[in-house]
Structure 1
Amino acid sequence: MILHHIRVIPLLVRMFIRSQMEYRGAFWLDRFAQILSYGSVFATISILLSRFDTLGGWTWSELALLYSFQLLAYSLGAAMSFTQLRDLEEQVRLGTYDALLVKPFSPWVYLIFSGLNIGYAGHIILALPLMAWAILSVDFAWTLPAALFFVAALLSATLLTAALITMIGATALIWVRSNHLFSIFFGFWELMRYPLNIFPGPIQLTLLTAVPLALTSSVPVGALLGKPIPILGPLAAPASLLAGPLWALLAMAYWRYANSKYQGAGG
């Protein structure tokens, strides 16, 4: 069964990419619009730092590293989950999800890889050069362990992003409606363009527990740069590395639970 999945996955991805690239001009125009949109956010941070030398003790180059880290981790994780899980609500409502349950294939694998979102290319195109510039500009002595931690933390943040989106989307299998939860998710996600320590204590706690998006940005980057991390303190680095795998396991368990509660289009 596993070998069957592995053989089919590249076919699903290839078919979806071909469908997305049918109108290449429109595709790349959308990516350009994404770059302008997220670039304007970075410009806003730049204007803010032009009035104040630091923000919560973070300098301009450190904030650039934080923003690019958050954007890259999100784009990689969301490409594997967001559009697919956002559309799950409509499939549940219309009853088309039932067709996935009778396929000789994992519903989750089919859902994810038949809709792998290459539209996040715009995010990645912006994030990578910005991250490269920030790595060269930040006042930090890079070592091999630091570089390995950075890569591992980025992978963990990617897993955590995908896990949270998966859990939100899977809720549609129980409640039918779940997309309103994405509004809450993105509301908190936008806060994580900034250091965790500038927010009040209750928000800090929320961003480390119930909606642990701080672990996809300011916690790992802050731990790398030696910044004080609220609440976690010296546990920030190990928490950054463990968060992704642990939440991925939790998302897998929740997906199975949600599927067991699914009653089909007829209720």
Structure 2
Amino acid sequence: MTITRTLRLIPHLVAMFVRTKFEYPGAMLLAWFSQATSYGAMYTAIALIVTRFGTLGGWTWSEMALLLSFHLLAYSSGASFSFTQFRVMEDMVRQGTMDAILVKPISTWVYLVFSGLNIGYTGHVILAVGLMGWALTQVDIVWSLPAILFFLATLLSGAVVVCSLMTMIGATALVWVRSRHLYQIFFGFWELARYPITIFPFPIQLMLITLVPLGFISTVPVAVLLGKPVPLLGGWAGLACLLAGPLMALIAMAHWRWCLRNYQGAGG
């Protein structure tokens, strides 16, 4: 299938999935509200702790608010294209339904991503944008066109990091059959990335920048914007933020293709 035809199909895939979700608007709105409330309560607890002690690892509450909002917005943007779609790949492989998707006249990755585009992250996005809007009025950032472009580019790069990691985890099911347990590891590091990585021991800092580079959806880009030092990366932190997403996308593409080549079906 040509790229042009694939691009024309994407809006139809998204529209069909969104229509199924809007069949039960009450449940959908309740889910958005519960998600926003859950994160809001968590952030309130963090705010109380930070304001009580003044700073957390040298970060004030307004700076932490920017970090938390950046972390949530980058995550929800990337996960909406990957989490629910690839989390079920283990089931699709075991049940044999993955075989039917592989023979569809469209890119398998495109079909999986856009036929299940998760609008359930709307609550995350609303909360993140609201908190970010407040935080940006409180922190001391010298805005310029390069700074604005850097802010937007690193937010996109962080979302690509999340999408790439989740794609790789899901694709692993094509070879190992079981892959869902890897999401538990992912979310363990994701929880750590919610805080400034400088508060963690060196091995964890290293992992959050290299092996599981979730530091690029929170601490690293926000620290660059605020003029804070970034461990391990130093003056290269800004460039690393911009390259993290594209590099992870290339790695995810290679992993995805390798897993497809080695997929043997539900029967092994």
Fold-level similarity (TM above 0.5): yes
Are 2:169 and 2:183, in contact at CA under 8 Å, matched by a contact in 1?
A: yes
Instruction: Output the aligned Cα RMSD.
Output: 0.8
Residue of structure 2 in register with 1:254 after alignment: 255
Q: Tell me how far apart the structure 2 counterparts of residues 21 and 10 of structure 1 sit (CA, whole Å).
A: 16
1:193 CA drift (Å)? 1.2
Once the two structures are superposed, the pairs formed by residues 131-150 of structure 1 within 5 Å of their partners are 131-150=132-151
Q: Tell me how far apart the structure 1 counterparts of residues 46 and 244 of structure 2 sit (CA, whole Å).
A: 27
> Is 1:59 paired with 2:60?
yes
Residue of structure 2 in register with 1:77 after alignment: 78
Residue of structure 2 in register with 1:229 after alignment: 230
Q: Tell me how far apart the structure 1 counterparts of residues 261 and 55 of structure 2 sit (CA, whole Å).
A: 50
> Is 1:198 paired with 2:190?
no
1:25 CA drift (Å)? 0.3
Residue of structure 2 in register with 1:152 after alignment: 153
Are 2:141 and 2:225, in contact at CA under 8 Å, matched by a contact in 1?
A: no
Q: Tell me how far apart the structure 1 counterparts of residues 141 and 112 of structure 2 sit (CA, whole Å).
A: 42
1:50 CA drift (Å)? 2.3
Q: Tell me how far apart the structure 2 counterparts of residues 195 and 187 of structure 1 sit (CA, whole Å).
A: 15
Q: Deviations over 1:122-162 (max 9, x none)?
A: 00010001101111111222222211111110010011110
User: Structure 1 length as normaliser, TM-score?
Assistant: 0.98
Residue of structure 2 in register with 1:102 after alignment: 103
- The answer for unaligned runs of 5 or more in structure 1 is none
Q: Tell me how far apart the structure 2 counterparts of residues 48 and 241 of structure 1 sit (CA, whole Å).
A: 32
Q: Tell me how far apart the structure 1 counterparts of residues 142 and 234 of structure 2 sit (CA, whole Å).
A: 21
Q: Deviations over 1:93-118 (max 9, x none)?
A: 10000001111111111111000000
Q: Deviations over 1:158-194 (max 9, x none)?
A: 1111001100110000100001000000011011111
Residue of structure 1 in register with 2:15 after alignment: 14
Q: Tell me how far apart the structure 1 counterparts of residues 41 and 233 of structure 2 sit (CA, whole Å).
A: 32
Percent identical: 62
Are 2:95 and 2:266, in contact at CA under 8 Å, matched by a contact in 1?
A: yes
Once the two structures are superposed, the pairs formed by residues 205-220 of structure 1 within 5 Å of their partners are 205-220=206-221
May I ask how many residue pairs the two structures share in their alignment? 267
Q: Tell me how far apart the structure 2 counterparts of residues 108 and 91 of structure 1 sit (CA, whole Å).
A: 14
Are 2:164 and 2:249, in contact at CA under 8 Å, matched by a contact in 1?
A: yes
1:37 CA drift (Å)? 0.8
> Is 1:179 paired with 2:180?
yes
Partner amino acid, structure 1, of 2:257: R
Partner amino acid, structure 2, of 1:245: P
Q: Tell me how far apart the structure 1 counterparts of residues 171 and 26 of structure 2 sit (CA, whole Å).
A: 33
User: Structure 2 length as normaliser, TM-score?
Assistant: 0.98
Q: Deviations over 1:245-266 (max 9, x none)?
A: 1100110111000000100011
1:44 CA drift (Å)? 1.3
Partner amino acid, structure 2, of 1:260: R
Residue of structure 1 in register with 2:116 after alignment: 115
Q: Deviations over 1:33-72 (max 9, x none)?
A: 0001111111111111122111111111110000000100
Q: Deviations over 1:74-109 (max 9, x none)?
A: 001000000000011110010000001111111111
